[in-house]
Amino acid sequence: MSNTPVTVLGLGDMGTALARALLKAGHRTTVWNRTAAKAEALVAEGALRAETVAEAVAASPLVVVCLLDYDSVRQTLDPVAGALSGTAVANLTSGTPRQAREMAAWAAERGADYLDGGIMAVPPMIATPAAFVLYSGSRSVFETHRAALDALAQSHYLGEDAALAPLQDIALLSGMYGMFSGILHAFALTGSEGIKAADFAPMLQRWLNSMSGAVAGFAAQIDSGDHAQGVVSNLAMQAAAYHHLLEAAEEQGVSPELLAPLGPLMARRVADGHGHEDLSGLVHLLRTRA
């Protein structure tokens, strides 16, 4: 169904970008926000303002929720729970896999069709080719409302378990923050000798681009369980070299706190007899739940 009427609950930076994308794609877009003034710009662009959550939910078959966290989602939806039967709820609020499963159960008890989503974009990226959204939960909501969802970003449906989208969203963000940690440490280190960040940045970017090629190799080793497969730089060598990173930080007066946790993990894995393998074997030390 194209041009389905859509309601957007939550007009923070992200909710506003989502509502604007829906308007631009020609959807009748009803908006609600706790602080009503945030709806004004969108209303000027053609959105319909709902005075209450109940009015907003009644306005459209698809309700996109983009609030701060799952507590605010429950605070917003609890009072209208009785009116959700038959409504498709696409909750794009960030949360954990457990929260998504609980929200899906809560929605099912009220007869609502629930789709969870993880937005892999910042607001200016919405409705550009760079943005994608991970979805999990009701396949029927995803398929029925695909056109509206595609107006926001490229859509990826991961499966019926509502936890799948937040799990992979958080995994992607974890990878990102690991990379950001290394970037910040690298700039602190070069800055300790007065090298301007802008001068070092192109080399850092080149190195990270080339090292991102390791992702596929690690994945093959993790899936096969053979961490020695195709190893180029073995763990024993890397553990010894990693010590230099921590020592250099100390010598240069840079805190090693963003880098430090990896050192003991490498040492443990080498001590356990895996020095000939690759770094990918560290996943066994991270998985504390069988």
Site residues, ligand FVH (CB under 6 A): 10-15, 33-35, 38, 66-69, 72, 75-76, 93-94, 119, 122-123
Nearer to ligand FVH, 10 or 137 (CB): 10
Nearer to ligand FVH, 131 or 235 (CB): 131
Q: How far is the CB of 43 from ligand FVH (least distance, A)?
A: 15
Q: How far is the CB of 92 from ligand FVH (least distance, A)?
A: 6
Q: How far is the CB of 285 from ligand FVH (least distance, A)?
A: 29
Decide: 33 and 56 in contact? Cβ < 8 Å. Answer: no
Q: How far is the CB of 57 from ligand FVH (least distance, A)?
A: 14
Nearer to ligand FVH, 13 or 250 (CB): 13
3-state secondary structure of 133: strand
Torsion angles phi and psi, residue 206, rounded to 5:
-60, -45
Q: How far is the CB of 31 from ligand FVH (least distance, A)?
A: 10
Nearer to ligand FVH, 101 or 269 (CB): 101
Torsion of CA 140, 145, 150, 151, to 10 degrees: -160
Using CB positions, name the residue nearest to ligand FVH. 12
In the numeric block, the tokens 């007869």 are attached to 111
Nearer to ligand FVH, 29 or 33 (CB): 33
Nearest Cα to 285, choosing from 268, 261, 273, 260?
268
Residue-wise DSSP of 101-131: HHHHHHHHHTT-EEEEEEEES-GGGTTSTT-
Burial of 181 (0-12, 13-18, 19+ CB in 10 A): middle
Nearer to ligand FVH, 76 or 87 (CB): 76
Q: How far is the CB of 72 from ligand FVH (least distance, A)?
A: 3
| Angle subtended at Cα 8 by Cα 44 and Cα 90, rounded to the nearest 5 degrees | 160
Q: How many residues does the chain have?
A: 290
